Chains A and B, each alone.
Chain A
Amino acid sequence: AQKITQTQPGMFVQEKEAVTLDCTYDTSDQSYGLFWYKQPSSGEMIFLIYQGSYDEQNATEGRYSLNFQKARKSANLVISASQLGDSAMYFCAMRDVDAGNMLTFGGGTRLMVKP
């Protein structure tokens, strides 16, 4: 069974500063994928970034980077130069390759960017 844990229910960050959102996972699979999604107050689910378990380099997408530490089973999201529009819920998810590629989500972290 898979499990995704996001230990920070809510976080504040000052505008223009960097912030790290924690995500740890538990799986016995060797092949898996890790995702981060953003859910603003409008309710949509916006894909941010993806990391494959065999990728040697950390994924980056603009201001988003994924700090992947395989031995620790962590996949933290780093947002650089926070903007007011970054205020939202952030979900970490893992893809179960052996079970149809459905996503298992963590409980989410609510990020609030202060002006």
Chain B
Amino acid sequence: GAGVSQSPRYKVTKRGQDVALRCDPISGHVSLYWYRQALGQGPEFLTYFNYEAQQDKSGLPNDRFSAERPEGSISTLTIQRTEQRDSAMYRCASSPDRGRDEQYFGPGTRLTVT
């Protein structure tokens, strides 16, 4: 079956612009996680959802970052007024049962803010 998909795969934007990153999890997966990965480092947690409810957003760096999953499936991570320090790989992962099993990662969106 299809894995986790993310779009766009690459996004170049100018500082100050808003961007929306999309994640389509594996069908039926309950939990959806967003991570951010800087070059040469491991992913860092941003936020996660069980179904449509955002359970924890403690990893979001500041209030320019927000996420939603309105119908409990596709999720969007939005970054407002982008800054160069936001440049990173943004990864989405889904898990079938509230994260008690392994998390399956998508290919990521490489965001570059110029």
Residues of A within 8 A of B (CB): 4, 35, 37, 43-45, 47, 50, 91, 93, 95, 99-108
The range of chain B's interface size is: 20 to 34
Complex Cα gap A103–B95 (Å): 12
User: With A43-B107, A91-B42, A107-B42 as given contacts, are A101 and B99 in contact (CB-CB < 8 Å)?
Assistant: yes
Give how many A-B residue pairs fall within 8 Å (CB-CB): 57
- Within B39-73, the residues touching A (CB, 8 Å) are 40-45, 48, 55-56, 59
- Shortest C-beta distance, B64 to chain A (Å), equals 21
- Within B86-114, the residues touching A (CB, 8 Å) are 89, 91, 93, 95, 98-100, 102-105, 107-108
Closest to A46 in B: B105
- Whether the Cβ atoms of A35 and B33 lie closer than 8 Å is no
- Whether the Cβ atoms of B102 and A35 lie closer than 8 Å is yes
- Whether the Cβ atoms of A100 and B41 lie closer than 8 Å is no
